[in-house]
Every structure is written in C-alpha cells, then in structure tokens.
Amino acid sequence: MEIDFLIAKEKISSRHNISPIEVKSGKNYTLSSLKKFKAKYTQQIYIPYVLHTGDLKDEDGILYLPLYMTPLL
C-alpha cells in the first residue's frame, strides 16, 4: 500500500484518530491503496481524504477535496 500522507486529530484517542490522504493530479485515477488501507485499519481511521483536481464530494466514506482546500486540513 502507498498512502501519500497521514494526519492525526489533535485529541488522541484509541480509535478513529488517523486520516490517510491520497493526492491525485489527473482526472482518471484509482484508489486501490486507500481502499485497502481503509479496510485493514477501519478501527483507527477517522476520515480518509483524496486531494484531486475535481469538485468537493463525499463518496463511499471518502471525502474528495479540491487541491485549493488543502490548507483547511
């Protein structure tokens, strides 16, 4: 698996603390690594993010953010 970034919430807890981030530059991409990571570490994941060139959307429990929203993470 290859995940580009991992961030943690400020408040440390035993569950739902880590957010994996995948960065995609093109319009056509796959999220196989992010989906494998999500399946394996379900208990520890807070919100998985994909930074991409498209619009904001929430699909299958993954939050897709436009690149300009990166500083808001």
- Which pLDDT score, from 0 to 100, does residue 56 have? 96
DSSP 41: T
pLDDT digits (tens, 9 = 90+) for 37-48: 999 998 889 999
- In a 3-state reduction of DSSP, which class is residue 71? helix
* pTM of the predicted protein model: 0.87
Cα(7)–Cα(41) distance, integer angstroms: 14
Cα(34)–Cα(21) distance, integer angstroms: 8
Cα(29)–Cα(47) distance, integer angstroms: 20
pLDDT digits (tens, 9 = 90+) for 26-35: 888 999 999 9
Strand order in the sheet with 5-8: 5-8, 18-23, 49-52, 62-66, 57-59
